[in-house]
Structure 1
């Protein structure tokens, strides 16, 4: 009977398919989390680099836009 169930669904049984789908979902969530962490790290590093720039470098980079802050 179990053999027929496997044949009807293809190679894998329903239990295995559900486990595979859950694993795929978990892996996609982990990958998204890693991408978000990388983006946050890039933003942090950019801000840190800007903190270390001199006033002349900042003025050269951003120019005199007329904004007070």
Structure 2
């Protein structure tokens, strides 16, 4: 299915949840913030929140440093 991730069109497998999407993108290991269609998806909902065709998804991952 086709979605927009951080402003770029991407084809991803159907039936993913936010958690599955993060795993698909190799981003499951660190802290991230996810917004779908301008609504923040709380981390507690990542496992159950579905990703749908046409969703506009913003993913921000945090990088530590000094």
Given the two structures, how large is their TM-score scaled by the length of structure 2?
A: 0.22
User: Which protein is bigger by CA-based radius of gyration?
Assistant: 1
Structure ranking higher in helix proportion: 1
Higher relative contact order (CA 8 A, sep 6+): 2
The structure in which a higher percent of residues are strand is: 2
